[in-house]
């Protein structure tokens, strides 16, 4: 199947997507491992379109891994707000500080795996793209391409080891970084989940699924269990001077390390069983948010008060710095409180 890899690289030379973290094919410039690592962490569970502006802001504010390593935790968490999966931001700082202590990124897949927050996929992407190691990169796009190329009918997630092994047979010794980006681009632009553009695909003549007409049905997936819905409360107290009652969430768990409003019922780590402050609380409705494993439906209670809280503190809040769930609650509460 090395002919398939060569055909894919030839296609990539003409059709590579332009990304702010990428170096074009055949450029004499070497990819920056910091920018590759940062982009790959941001792209976990997030679309390219959503990541671009965050990446630009991060690299403008912290242009090197050393600059990021010296950043304040709160500043990084605030800049991350809206990207979700906040454990990524915590690990981003841990990793940057370890890389600074090491004097630079490890240059091998095995070495990269030892860094906080870097798993097999991210390690392979950095090793291949930044350091030209023939490591095999397998994400959702690659799994789809490989399932169709080899007509693999085993459903995901059971098929993952089989697809990874098949993907490895295609990874070339020459230009492995460009190949990794090429196969991801193919899955994102032509070999899409629905209505794959087989007529434009450089791998069509190699594709076993296309030969028998099963490409639109692959990869197969095992049925997902239905997500449960958790009910809970959020208390949004506003001081007469405009500050909001907020608290620092625990470092581990949902929205870890971020600033948020007190609540209960939806998160096992919440310390509150009752309202965090004595006030005339009023129910103004619900906010809804979907996490990886559950839906949250939270009743928002609001009050204006200058009473001293048992937990947390009153401080100014920029809604753009809040996680999406907390921003939804703020946007619901602010008009109701400002009308008082």
Q: Which residues are catalytic?
A: 40
Buried b (16+ CB within 10 A) or exposed e, 40-79: bbbbbebeeeebeebbeebbeebeebeebbebeeeebbbb
3-state SS track over the chain = CHHHHHHHHHHHHHHCCCCCCCCCCCCCCCCCHHHHHHHHHHHCCCCHHHHHHHHHHHHHHCCCHHHHHCCCHHHHHHHHCCCCCCHHHHHHHHHHHHHHHHCCCCCCHHHHCCCCCCCHHHHHHHHHHHHCCCCCCCCHHHHHHHHHHCCCCCCECCCHHHHHHHHHHHCCCCCHHHHHHHHHHHHHHCCCCCCCCHHHCCCHHHCHHHHHCCHHHCCCECCCCCCCEEEEEEEEEECCCCCEEEEECCCCCCCCCCEECCEECCCCCCCCCCCCCCCCCEEEEEEEEECCCCEEEEEEEEEECCCCCCCCEEECCCHHHCCHHHHHHHHHHHHHHHCC
Whether cis (ω within 30° of 0) applies to the bond prior to 219 is yes
Distance of CA 63 to the CA centre of its chain: 20
């Amino acid at each position: 199947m090395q002919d398939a890899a060569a055909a894919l690289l030839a296609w990539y030379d003409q059709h590579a997507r332009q990304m702010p973290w990428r170096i074009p094919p055949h450029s004499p410039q070497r990819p920056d491992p910091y920018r590759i690592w940062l982009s790959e962490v941001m792209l976990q569970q997030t679309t390219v379109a959503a990541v671009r502006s965050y990446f630009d802001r991060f690299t403008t504010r912290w242009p090197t891994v050393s600059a990021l390593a010296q950043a304040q935790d709160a500043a990084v968490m605030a800049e991350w707000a809206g990207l979700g999966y906040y454990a990524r931001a915590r690990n981003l700082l841990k990793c940057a500080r370890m890389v600074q202590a090491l004097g630079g990124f490890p240059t091998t897949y095995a070495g990269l795996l030892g860094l906080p927050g870097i798993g097999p996929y991210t390690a392979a992407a950095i090793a291949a793209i930044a350091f030209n190691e023939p490591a095999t990169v397998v994400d959702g796009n690659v799994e789809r391409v490989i399932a169709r190329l080899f007509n693999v009918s085993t459903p995901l997630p059971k098929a993952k080891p089989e697809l990874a092994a098949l993907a490895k047979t295609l990874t070339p010794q020459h230009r492995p970084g460009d190949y990794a980006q090429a196969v991801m681009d193919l899955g994102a632009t032509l070999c899409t989940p629905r209505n794959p553009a087989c007529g434009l695909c450089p791998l069509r003549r190699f594709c076993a699924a296309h030969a028998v007409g099963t490409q639109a049905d692959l990869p197969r997936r095992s049925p997902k269990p239905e997500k449960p819905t958790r009910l809970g409360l959020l208390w949004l107290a506003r001081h007469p001077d405009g500050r909001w009652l907020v608290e620092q969430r625990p470092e581990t768990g949902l929205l870890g390390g971020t600033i948020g409003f007190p609540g209960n019922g939806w998160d096992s780590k919440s310390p509150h069983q009752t309202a965090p402050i004595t006030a005339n609380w009023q129910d103004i409705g619900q906010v809804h948010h979907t996490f990886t494993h559950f839906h949250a439906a939270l009743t928002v209670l609001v009050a204006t008060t200058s009473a001293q809280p048992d937990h947390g503190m009153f401080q100014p809040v920029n809604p753009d710095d809040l996680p999406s769930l907390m921003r939804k609650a703020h946007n619901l509460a602010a008009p109701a409180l400002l009308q008082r």
